[in-house]
Amino acid sequence: MSAQRDEVLALLRAQGPLQVNQIMAGCELIETGKELSNYLYNLRKAGEIARDDAGRYYLPAGGNTAPPPAASPETETPQPRKKAATVRRVSKPASPAAASPPAHVRAALDRSVEAAQAALDEYVYSVGDRALLDSLMAVRDAARKAREAWHD
């Protein structure tokens, strides 16, 4: 961290308080924003740099690197609040009856019910194993419920 640390400190010493993007533009040894964030965090934690309310980084002692004087309450302009990141979720229809599926979806649901019933019928007539019969009936019933949810 020594060469990158020295580069950040020299930049702040020479130019005074800077935003993160200004520091990134002035550093040649730091390649990514994440890398810069890590260096700034560690330098702040060690007390070698500080950050003012406007998000500018500066050296805590000496010349033009001191933080700007705080604005008085009368002249202070409110800073816009950052919006929290939101996750967009795809909502389901209010009720299954509210939206009618496209024709190809209805056809696919009908085919799945028919296929499940055909497999069930064939098995019943040939073997008669109760455990397998129950699982085939569950598949058929699930297909029916899916179809009914869209049809009704």
For residue 17, the model assigns a pLDDT of 92
Structural domain range at position 57 = 2-65
Per-residue confidence (pLDDT) for residue 64, from 0 to 100: 45
Check: CB of residue 120 under 8 Å from CB of residue 133: yes
86 in a domain, yes or no? Answer: no
Pick 29 or 69 by higher pLDDT. Answer: 29
54-90 per-position pLDDT tens digit: 889 999 875 444 445 555 555 555 566 555 555 555 5
What are phi and psi for residue 53, nearest 5 degrees? -65, -25
In a domain, 80, yes or no: no
The CATH number assigned to the domain holding 58 equals: 1.10.10.10
52 in a structural domain: yes
pTM for the full predicted model: 0.41
Considering the chain, what is the average pLDDT of its residues?
Answer: 75
- 89 vs 124, more confident: 124
Residue 72 domain-assigned (yes or no): no
Last residue of a domain, one of 65, 87, 115: 65
Quick check: 52 and 67 in contact, CB under 8 A? yes
pLDDT digits (tens, 9 = 90+) for 100-116: 677 888 788 888 888 88
